[in-house]
Amino acid sequence: MHYVRLLRPPKLAPSKRGMQTELVFTITTDLGDSFLCPSEPIDLAVTADIYSPSADVSCELSERRKLQWLPGSRVAKPGYELPPMVVNAMMSGDAVELCVGTASSFSAEGVQSILSSSGENPSQGGAGGLVMPVRVALNGPDADNDISTRKFRLGAASEPPEYLEVEEEIGESIARHVWDAGVVALSAIAGIYKFPRLHSSQHPCMQALRRMFDDSEAMNILELGCGVGILGTGLCAVYPRGAGDCTILMTDLDEAEGRARSNIALLKHNRSGSQLGNTNILYENLNWDHGRQGRFGRQVRLRRWDLVMLSDCTYNVDMLPALVGTLSALHASNVKWVADGDEPVSTRVFLATKPRHASEQALFDLMAGDGWQTLETQILPLPVLGGERESVEMYLFEKA
Ligand SMILES: C[S@@+](CC[C@H](N)C(=O)[O-])C[C@H]1O[C@@H](n2cnc3c(N)ncnc32)[C@H](O)[C@@H]1O
């Protein structure tokens, strides 16, 4: 999958007719290691979305000046005169956001397009799921903050829109944007509830997760290496409302804390308390170098963890011993919760990865060596526009 990425916040400047804006963006893979290289030019669309108390309105800025991404493109720097409606909205304090994306037949706008791109077609539409659009505020508190957002539709296009919004930081930090495995893992889990008839939702891996979520009186879910939090906040958004209480604790290195916490706040802001039901979402720092030694923060120590989840955290082979050591230390911490005479506990791990190098296979030896058993494996193909197909692999491990 490719992502439209802003290289800097949009510039606004007065013009003869009012106001103009200039954008600088690229379209790359999640790692930023290759640019989108389609075989034919593809049309891009830039819209200005106005959110006013009376109605939300969308104006297409690229309508008059066609914008295309060509084979070999590396960066685009389009400039647009803002229509009076947009300028007036900004003057009167309404929020205005720019959205840069591809024509909708290529767009990775949400669960439906991601799952349709993996060979299933809930939309009966085109390939979809190939290029993720980006959004950025033109005014308001976020406008100067080097923040852009991904707005990810969770349900079917035919249903009232339900989005997950995730802020990213404009720039190159690994912890500050969404990654393919997180996007696909969230889509697969959301699919269980939003598109239950799909093959992906019926897969034993998803069905095992569904049974855990639906049947537990209380679930404690710990996420390692949450990054900006697409998987943790997304799971919180789609967690079944009729099920028991659920606590999701997202963790990462301290440099990821600010953005992860602001995405939790954004989730809570976008959904009233009642919409999140009895699901609670928290953040705490957890460095795997400490975790492998059983050194955990207060929130981790407070609970027994039914499920540990992680996406796109296994690409750095040097970190695998610390990561697997942390999983095993979490299991050891779980075991301490068992009183004499209680049933023995098992810990489950849901791990999603987009394999990038053969060396990452070391993960499976380390997991097996520490006594983790693979319960389920599910692979979802991920088509790539202008490139070779990729896939995201999802595993459910258990240690008893
Ligand atoms: C590729 S990102 C994936 C982020 C997120 N899971 C997703 O799917 O979007 C890898 C994450 O692992 C975190 N990470 C790397 N080394 C870590 C360590 N030693 N302890 C904790 N987190 C670490 C990074 O900060 C980063 O957020």
| Residue 274 maps to a domain | yes
Domain identity same for 145 and 249: no
| Residue 109 maps to a domain | no
Number of domains composing the chain: 2
Q: Where are the alpha helices (DSSP H) in the chain?
A: 84-91, 111-117, 180-194, 199-202, 204-215, 230-238, 257-270, 288-291, 298-301, 320-335, 362-369
Q: Which residues contact 302 (CB under 8 A, 6 or more apart)?
A: none
Domain identity same for 256 and 371: yes
| Residue 215 maps to a domain | yes
Residue 201's identity, in one-letter code, is S
Ligand 1 pocket by Cβ (under 6 Å) = 174-175, 178-179, 181-182, 225-227, 230-231, 252-253, 256, 287-289, 311-313, 319, 322
Domain identity same for 285 and 322: yes
| Residue 9 maps to a domain | yes
> Whats the size of the chain, residue-wise?
400
Torsion 202-204-209-215 (CA) sign: positive
Ligand 1 atom closest to 313 (CA): 10
| Residue 120 maps to a domain | no
Domain identity same for 145 and 198: no
User: Which tens digit of pLDDT belongs to each residue from 28-78?
Assistant: 999 888 899 988 899 999 999 998 888 888 999 987 778 999 999 999 999
Q: Which residue is it, tokens 């997950």?
A: 164
Domain boundary among 118, 143, 171: 171
**Inter-CA distances, 355 with 117, 171, 202, 316, Å:** 18, 24, 23, 11
Domain boundary among 171, 188, 222: 171
CA 118–ligand 1 middle distance (angstroms)? 25
Ligand 1 atom closest to 287 (CA): 20
| Residue 7 maps to a domain | yes
167 sits in which H/E element: strand 163-169
Domain identity same for 342 and 240: yes
Nearest Cα to 112, choosing from 129, 94, 135, 126?
129
Low-confidence ranges of the chain (pLDDT < 70): 117-129, 141-144, 172-175, 273-274
Ligand 1 atom closest to 322 (CA): 19
Domain identity same for 149 and 272: no
| Residue 112 maps to a domain | no
Per the DSSP assignment, residues forming a β-bridge with 25 are 6, 76
Q: Which residues contact 12 (CB under 8 A, 6 or more apart)?
A: 19, 20, 21, 138
Domain identity same for 83 and 204: no
**Inter-CA distances, 391 with 117, 119, 180, 183, 187, Å:** 11, 11, 9, 12, 14
Atom 20 (ligand 1) nearest CA: 287
* C-alpha dihedral (87, 88, 90, 93), degrees to nearest 10: 170
Per the DSSP assignment, residues forming a β-bridge with 21 are 12, 80
What domain range is 147 assigned to?
Answer: 2-103+130-171
Give the whole-angstrom CA distance, residue 243 versus residue 42.
Answer: 44
Name the residue of 31, 174, 286 whose CB sits within 8 Å of the most ligand 1 atoms, as the mutation to test its pocket: 174
Ligand 1 atom closest to 289 (CA): 19
Domain identity same for 219 and 344: yes
Find out whether 272 and 288 touch, Cβ atoms under 8 Å.
no
Give the whole-angstrom CA distance, residue 41 versus residue 178.
Answer: 26
* Alpha carbons within 13 A on the beta-carbon side of 151: 15
Domain identity same for 225 and 289: yes
Give the whole-angstrom CA distance, residue 195 versus residue 198.
Answer: 6
| Residue 20 maps to a domain | yes
Name the residue of 253, 261, 353 whose CB sits within 8 Å of the most ligand 1 atoms, as the mutation to test its pocket: 253
Domain identity same for 264 and 296: yes
Output the pLDDT for position 126: 46
Domain identity same for 165 and 221: no
Domain identity same for 306 and 347: yes
Give the whole-angstrom CA distance, residue 224 versus residue 338.
Answer: 23
Neighbours of 11 (CB within 10 A): 11
* CATH code of 22's domain: 2.60.40
Q: Which residues contact 258 (CB under 8 A, 6 or more apart)?
A: none
* CATH code of 264's domain: 3.40.50.150
Domain boundary among 171, 202, 226: 171
